[in-house]
Structure 1
Amino acid sequence: MKRYYVNILSKENGDNELHNEFCLYMPVIINAQYIGDFSHDKKALEEALKTYPNANGCKHCCSTIHIQYEME
């Protein structure tokens, strides 16, 4: 199981990125909200979407749930 955090600061496209605890791109802790411990990225995203409807998986640590937009 991994710990997951969502960046409370939105990116330019409005996304709040979801990261696992091992991500090199995780935001500083003051800008990260703990989502929970999950064994799969998808379950963490489902939980994050309850609070952050624009949550999106980080393309580095949660690539299986990352939705890529043309502007990235």
Structure 2
Amino acid sequence: MPYYYVNNNPTLNPGYHHEVHTEEHANELNILSKKYLGFYSNCFDAVDKAKETYSDADGCKTCCSLCHKG
């Protein structure tokens, strides 16, 4: 089960929304402005948590592909 984060800056991705990433991928992308969401068994729960803050939250196409809506 990975740790999840949401990017606080929506302009850093092609869809201009707040993307949810695993901790490993957020670090690979060097995302500095991010909010810790928690330790989840799946990306769906992490995206739901992110939507409490950002209604436009979406899963990252690379690390949360099952939750990526585009």
Q: Percent identity?
A: 35
TM-score by length of 2: 0.83
Deviation string, structure 1 residues 29-59 (Cα, Å, up to 9, x no partner)? xx01101110010010111101110101111
* Structure number having the greater helix percentage: 2
User: Aligned pair 1:53/2:55, yes or no?
Assistant: yes
TM-score by length of 1: 0.81
Q: Which is higher, the Rg of structure 1 or of structure 2?
A: 1
Runs of 4+ in 1 over 4 A off after TM superposition: none
* Structure number having the greater strand percentage: 1
Shift of the 40–22 alpha-carbon distance from structure 1 to 2, 3 Å rule, reads: same
Gaps of 5+ in 1: none
Deviation string, structure 1 residues 1-25 (Cα, Å, up to 9, x no partner)? 1100000111264400100012133
Gaps of 5+ in 2: none
